[in-house]
Amino acid sequence: MWYNIIMIETLSGAERLTGEAAREIYFPRTMTEALVERWGDGIPSFSDADPLRPEWRATRVLRLNELPNVLVKDESDPLSNPTRTVKDRAAWELGTLYRDFARACFLDLRSGRFSRNDLHATLIPRLTLITSGNEGRAVAECFARYGLPPPKIVVSNTLPLEQPRTYDALRKLRADLYLADLSVPLAPEEIRHLSHNDDGIDITSVRSIEPNATFYDWQVHEVFGEEPDEVYVPYGSGRLTENYLTWQDRTRVHAATGQRDPRLTTSPDKVRRISILAAEPERSDSIADKLTAPFKPFLLFKGDDMNALRQFMFTGPDTQKDTVSEAFIDEAHRMLLGNGIDAEPSGAAGLALYLKRLRQGATDSFRRVVVVNTGMGLYEGKE
């Protein structure tokens, strides 16, 4: 056992950029030979070039009784996602960073570029993430499975009062937990500082690991294989939408250069013509509470970017981000539950946007539609 739990009482009146430490867990600061071996050999490797040995077991696709043209890509599938949300996919990708880090250390030791003293002086990167709950739990449970450093989770300082059960669940995770004022934008260095991680990594903002292309790449290719005309996804952090748009563009570029991703089971031209529609709530106090962050400063694709992709015909003609009312979210949520699909309101936002567009005449029942249910996570059943 490499860690001990240290409970720290919440600090009242703490400065915003200091953060309030609700829980911290001790973990070694520097590498050891044991960690190199455990992470390097214990975290498996998969190749995107081998679709017969996928990195992720594909989640199930279900059909709705009320809307026979609509397929639901169900990320609440427990046989695929341990915490029953799409965030398990991103958590796994973050875990593999430590596998590759350990293997880099091993190669430096074997080549003589590193001595044992150099290894023992090498800081272990710690990861900070801002979350409303689901991603924090997914990362914490994934990291616990492989003995990785507990993630540093930052949540809103209103969470203990507004969602006490979610807060209590987060406090029980193998993770550092910090409360902060998230009603105002934070720079990456501020996020690291308030989580006591000044020399670590804020994955909310970092682009070098390509979260827009790696977090949900297999999920995107699974949906592309359904050959939809339209794909509807909830829009929270924006990362899921970014993965769809990124892989549409990469598929186009690969086709132009005579390449093809081996996971692609349909034609690049069909991929290019898929409309990606992202849904977020109209209200900041929506029941779809995983989608209501007041600021999303680190997005790759914003409104003008989507417009440019549409004009160049690099994505479908209806690709956009749109808002949905509480009535549509509630109807969509009840429809998923009525079809035996576990979902929280946030996960039903994509279906809510489809219902809105269907009633407005912006789409029709002849189009082949895939709706992504992002899952059933830490939801308290607020009405």
Sequence-distant (6+) residues with CB within 8 A of 329 are 281, 286, 287, 288, 345, 348, 349, 352
Higher pLDDT, 197 or 13: 197
Number of neighbours of residue 147 by Cβ within 10 angstroms = 18
**Residue 381 in domain:** no
pLDDT surpasses 50 at 119: yes
| Domain total in the chain | 2
Cα 345 from Cα 287, distance rounded (Å): 6
Cα 356 from Cα 151, distance rounded (Å): 38
Least confident range of 24-38, 162-176, 256-270, 301-315: 301-315
Does 103 lie in the same domain as 79? no
Does 289 lie in the same domain as 165? no
Give the pair of three-digit tokens for residue 90: 């991103």
* Contact (CB, 8 A) for 89 and 34: no
Number of neighbours of residue 36 by Cβ within 10 angstroms = 20
Does 365 lie in the same domain as 287? yes
**Residue 38 in domain:** yes
**Residue 222 in domain:** yes
Does 196 lie in the same domain as 129? yes
Give the pair of three-digit tokens for residue 202: 């804020």
| The pLDDT of residue 274 | 98
Does 361 lie in the same domain as 311? yes
Average pLDDT of the residues in 167-176: 94
Number of neighbours of residue 162 by Cβ within 10 angstroms = 13
pLDDT surpasses 90 at 254: yes
Does 305 lie in the same domain as 222? yes
Q: How many CA atoms lie within 13 A of 175 on its CB side?
A: 31
* Contact (CB, 8 A) for 153 and 228: no
Higher pLDDT, 205 or 286: 286
Higher pLDDT, 56 or 119: 119
pLDDT tens per residue, range 335-374: 999 999 999 999 999 999 999 999 999 999 999 999 999 9
Instruction: Give me the residue label for tokens 């089971």.
Output: 265
pLDDT tens per residue, range 12-64: 333 344 456 777 899 999 999 999 999 999 999 888 778 778 888 999 999 99
Does 220 lie in the same domain as 166? no
Least confident range of 69-73, 112-116, 325-329: 112-116
**Domain boundary, last residue among 202, 224, 243:** 202
**Residue 19 in domain:** yes
Average pLDDT of the residues in 219-224: 98
Q: Which domain, by its residues, includes 367? A: 61-86+212-373
Q: How would residue 237 be classed by pLDDT, with cut points 50, 70 and 90?
A: confident
Does 282 lie in the same domain as 241? yes
**Residue 380 in domain:** no
Secondary structure (3-state) at 230: strand
Q: Phi/psi class of residue 146: alpha, beta or left (left: φ > 0; alpha: ψ in -120 to 50)?
A: alpha
Q: What is the CATH number of the domain that holds 290?
A: 3.40.50.1100
**Domain boundary, last residue among 202, 221, 250:** 202
Does 367 lie in the same domain as 255? yes
Cα 76 from Cα 20, distance rounded (Å): 32
pLDDT tens per residue, range 101-111: 999 999 999 99
Cα 231 from Cα 266, distance rounded (Å): 15
Q: How many CA atoms lie within 13 A of 123 on its CB side?
A: 8
Cα 89 from Cα 99, distance rounded (Å): 16
- Strands laid side by side in the 320-324 sheet: 61-63, 70-74, 369-373, 230-234, 275-281, 320-324
Does 183 lie in the same domain as 274? no
Does 216 lie in the same domain as 128? no
**Residue 383 in domain:** no
